[in-house]
Chains A and B, each alone.
Chain A
Amino acid sequence: MTSFRHTSWGQVDRQKSIPFTYHGKAMSGYAGDTVASALMANGETIVGRSFKYHRPRGFWGASWEEPNGFFDIQVGQQHFTNCQGTSTQLLAGMSIQSINGFPSARYDIKGGLDLLQRFMPAGFYYKTFMAPDWHLFEPSIRHMAGMGRLNGENLHADSLSQKQFRNVQTLVVGAGIAGLEAAYQAAKAGQRVLLVDDKANPGGSYYGGQGLIEEQASADWIAQRLAALQAMGAEVMLSTTAFGIYDHQLVALAQQDNLTSTSKLIKLRVEHLIIATGCIDRPLLFANNDLPGICSAHAARTWLQSYGIVAGQRIGLAINHRGYAELSKQFTAAGAEVVDINLNNGPISAHGWRQLKSVKQGRQQHQLDSLLTSASLTPVLSLWSQAGGQLKWHAQWQTMLPADGPAWCHVVGSAAGHFGDAECLHSSRHYAQRIPHKDTAFVIVNQQPNDNQGRQWVDFQNDVTSKDIALAARENYTSVEHLKRYTTLGMAIDQGKSSNINALMLMAECTNKPVAAVGTTKFRPPFTPQPLSMYRGKSSGKLLNPPKRLPLEQEHRHMQAALKEYGGWLRPAWYGTQAWDQAVNQEVLHARTKVALLDATPLGKIEVMGPDAKAFLNFVYYNNMASLTAGQIRYGFMLTEKGVVFDDGVLTCINNHHYLVSCSSSHADGVEGWLEAWRQDGHNPERIFIHNTTAQWATLTITGPAAKSLMQSMDWGVDLDNLAHMQFTQGSFKQHPVRIARVSFTGHTSYEISVPSSQAKSLWHTLLEQGKPFDIAPIGLEALSVLRAEKGFIIIGKDTDGETMPQDLGFAGPLRNKTQAYIGDRSLRLEKAQGTNRQQLVGITVNGQQPLATGAHIVTGELENKQSIGYVTSSYFSPTLNAPIALALVKNGHQRMNQKVTVFNQGSQLIATVTQPTFVDLEGNFIDA
């Protein structure tokens, strides 16, 4: 192809030169160019190599239907791969490389692969590479495959995309004349209208054209419609692709001005969708129809009108329908020599090496450098199909047209098969109605396969020929989906936009079936490939699933806390700058000998109120909560209906109608939902009220031998002398309410002090100040984990798994004694629940100083016959005992006390002893120390 730039035609701005490089060579285009038009203006003909055979290929399409020309593009620090030349706007400073060819598409050393095509028919890899082993072949096949190259450098330079929710009454997709007219009609009817088009300019195939619309210059007609739309308040968004239709009438739009600009994902809810997406050419099938220089007629016209690119010096027209009546005139006027080829005179074949040189038809031979082809027009119906619309084969026009579909969608213009201007506009004016098609003799001849002159290409990028389709048919891959998957037809970057219909027709011919019986493949979103970064929006790093933050975070940071994430909260793990294990040991010893301060704010605090609250909670908890009286606290489990422990915590009775459920910090939302579900579905919701106050109250815990003295040294507006373990009271702290609960997760005397979150800082500083005489120090979550493990207190989800029932944890009382129904009760009475071979919570001790690995398994048997009977759930070095301790779930563990067991970890084994799951203060003296 010797394409050239016309001196005046096209909509590019010849005053603005855009410099770029192609394989390092400096070139320039004009403002308004695409990468494709700029390369054509610079005389590049071979711009891509096909996937499998590395055949040389030139540009074929006008825009997103282009199957051949894809590029890697560097702009500044940003790198983009697989950029479609025809739909990528040229930007200054672009460094462009062709892909799938080395060193370039023009001189590709793998071009010779085409000589082996005989041995590589469709699906050949299913029949070979099996012996001796696929793994020997796979690496080199992977190396050969792939198109562009992802560049991971300077990822930070990419802008983060935006996301937006919107709604309109009527969305019109496509701002060609059909879309403009339909949008105009909808707006006139009082609809709130949005008109979108993926191009940067409106007008569709009339953009830049010289023709008339309704006897008016097309540019004027388009401008008038746009002005009228604006006057009526309709919105027009260009460079915006409607790429997907999702449930409940959601249309996904991708808006991006150019390659480097910020992209936007718009989730648009619509009442009506008008599809005015036009049509593209179906490639004409003939021998060697993939030679560079052969392109879609629609594309060549677009190149001429938009960019002033004339496809060649001697242009042949091989057009199988009456859709491009003016084309010959247009190209003659542009200065090309035009040869009209009448397809009635028999099949044609193309000839030339690496580019088109001539076209033969029978004995006639035309010397041509460009051939504009169209077998028929293919309406663009991806959105229609995605919305649930059906397609119907029109045998005479050899095309798929919209049939039945959802009432909220309408197809107008040439997308609906209204190919002439008058029909097109008529359909838009009556978009809500189904306008019958004019019964014209549109297509001229049926395709006449003629493969003895060369291969006929159906899918250009993936190298699928008519022979491959015949082979698929021969091997009974006749269903459309089998055909597609077996030959890889339509699976390339262009998603078969140009290849689909030809494939269906060929398969129909091979199997002697009507095309309608072959079926159609499903159109799947996205309509055009969309950058993954667009779906992410700004959810990156800390903005992705952000953890919850404590009101005291600054205070913790001030005290050099190591902050880590626990159950969705960012919490202090330990304090200070020394090694973590030293810090943790020190904090544990501090809590055991003096008094420690812990930020327990994330603890779930759910209030349950009302006359039925007591009965409700007694049903929700495994433990008997009916006997709880005002001021009392009781530890308990919540079970699922499967009888599995789902949460543990304490329940506080404030009064007979008012309870406080305290649950694991990571479970607060889950427990609240759980309680709500049971409240509303199974109880009288008018007599129970549930309120999650987790975020309203900040909780600080002081624990240790001096905790009581510290508390007594302060004024809480209430007498704490007689507040015993597992009791609750309310007082005041600096004129604010305070809730004080004596519960302990360390084993030592502990007070959980809750104040309104606004008072958290005040309480924190007051406790540190007042605690000075007692040598108070803050401790983090890691020390707490050790403290609670020393006492054998469990953490749900760590020391329990999806099978753990309360009796496995040593709490069999309610199972035996509780008479009222409770959640999970029946499951606890299953044979499996009653069995002796359950995994039960035990302690594990080992000699030496080295703790067991958490996750190590307790095993029986030797070597091959080894079997796991449980695993270590928590394991620490206990500074209190100066020895390692561990908790484990072990089958029948309660019967194995003091037995030696084998512990297996990552291939090595050692001997340990099963103990009670309590290691310090076996008598429970610490609690009132």
Chain B
Amino acid sequence: MQQFPCPYCGLRNETEFHFAAESGKTRPDTNTPIDDKHWSDYLYQNYNPKGTSKEVWMHLACREVFLMTRDTVNMDVLEVQALRGEHHD
């Protein structure tokens, strides 16, 4: 049972969290032409790093989405960051 620090609620059990995606993916503007490759990269490609990984997570209990940097080998949580600019204490 891992524990993750929700930026809003503090340290909680992993079962309260949902892994959404790797961070850094921006949705292409679909009103402009996008080739199939670009679109499938957005949909499917991952770095899936072994080691430090920056990811988007949701704390299901408060429904807030945040960024978490983890080590995918030893499971250390390195940093969490609220998605919004301002931090809600």
A residues near B, CB below 8 A? 246-248, 250, 267, 269, 388, 641-642, 672-673, 676-677, 680-682, 685, 690, 819-822, 825-827, 830
> If the complex has contacts A247-B75, A821-B30, are A673 and B1 also in contact, measured as CB distance less than 8 A?
no
Most buried by A among B2, B30, B43, B65: B30
| Structural contact, B84 and A685, CB atoms closer than 8 A | yes
Could you count the A-B residue pairs with CB atoms below 8 Å apart for me: how many are there? 52
> If the complex has contacts A673-B60, A680-B65, A827-B39, are A388 and B75 also in contact, measured as CB distance less than 8 A?
no
Chain B binding surface SS class: loop
Q: Does B29 contact A (CB under 8 A)?
A: yes
11 contacts between A and B (CB under 8 A): A248-B1, A248-B75, A641-B43, A673-B63, A680-B64, A681-B83, A685-B84, A825-B30, A826-B34, A827-B39, A830-B36
Q: How large is the interface on B (under 10, 10 to 19, 20 to 34, 35 or more residues)?
A: 20 to 34
Contact of A250 among B1, B20, B31 (CB under 8 A): B1
> If the complex has contacts A821-B29, A826-B34, are A677 and B1 also in contact, measured as CB distance less than 8 A?
no
| Structural contact, B65 and A676, CB atoms closer than 8 A | yes
Most buried by A among B2, B42, B63: B63
Q: Does B51 contact A (CB under 8 A)?
A: no
Q: How far is the CA of A753 from the CA of B41 in the complex (A)?
A: 45
| Structural contact, B65 and A677, CB atoms closer than 8 A | yes
Q: Does B27 contact A (CB under 8 A)?
A: yes
Contacts of B6 in A (CB 8 A): none
Q: How far is the CA of A641 from the CA of B28 in the complex (A)?
A: 11
Most buried by B among A247, A248, A821: A248
Q: Which of B55-87 contact A (CB under 8 A)?
A: 56, 58, 60, 63-65, 74-75, 83-84
Contact of B83 among A641, A642, A680, A820 (CB under 8 A): A680
| Structural contact, B84 and A680, CB atoms closer than 8 A | yes
Residue of B whose beta carbon sits closest to that of A267:
B1
Contacts of A680 in B (CB 8 A): 64-65, 83-84
B residues near A, CB below 8 A? 1-3, 18, 20, 27-31, 34, 36, 39, 42-43, 56, 58, 60, 63-65, 74-75, 83-84
| Structural contact, A820 and B31, CB atoms closer than 8 A | yes
Q: How far is the CA of A608 from the CA of B71 in the complex (A)?
A: 36
Q: How far is the CA of A388 from the CA of B3 in the complex (A)?
A: 18
Q: How far is the CA of A820 from the CA of B32 in the complex (A)?
A: 11
Residue of B whose beta carbon sits closest to that of A690:
B63
| Structural contact, A826 and B30, CB atoms closer than 8 A | yes
Q: How far is the CA of A247 from the CA of B64 in the complex (A)?
A: 24
Contacts of B84 in A (CB 8 A): 680, 685
Contact of B20 among A248, A269, A642, A677 (CB under 8 A): A677
> If the complex has contacts A247-B2, A388-B74, A680-B84, are A826 and B28 also in contact, measured as CB distance less than 8 A?
yes
Contact of B27 among A246, A388, A682, A685 (CB under 8 A): A682
Q: How far is the CA of A510 from the CA of B58 in the complex (A)?
A: 54
Q: How far is the CA of A677 from the CA of B18 in the complex (A)?
A: 11
Q: How far is the CA of A718 from the CA of B31 in the complex (A)?
A: 43
Shortest CB distance A678–B (Å): 9
| Structural contact, A673 and B58, CB atoms closer than 8 A | yes
Shortest CB distance A419–B (Å): 32
Most buried by A among B3, B56, B65: B65
Contacts of A681 in B (CB 8 A): 20, 56, 65, 83
Q: How far is the CA of A246 from the CA of B75 in the complex (A)?
A: 10
| Structural contact, B64 and A821, CB atoms closer than 8 A | no
Q: How far is the CA of A500 from the CA of B5 in the complex (A)?
A: 40
Contacts of A246 in B (CB 8 A): 1
Q: How far is the CA of A888 from the CA of B30 in the complex (A)?
A: 32
Residue of B whose beta carbon sits closest to that of A684:
B84
Apart from the given pairs A676-B63, A680-B83, A827-B39, 19 other A-B contacts in the complex at a CB distance below 8 Å: A247-B2, A247-B75, A248-B1, A248-B3, A267-B1, A388-B74, A642-B43, A676-B65, A677-B65, A681-B20, A681-B83, A690-B63, A819-B31, A821-B30, A822-B30, A826-B28, A826-B30, A826-B34, A827-B43
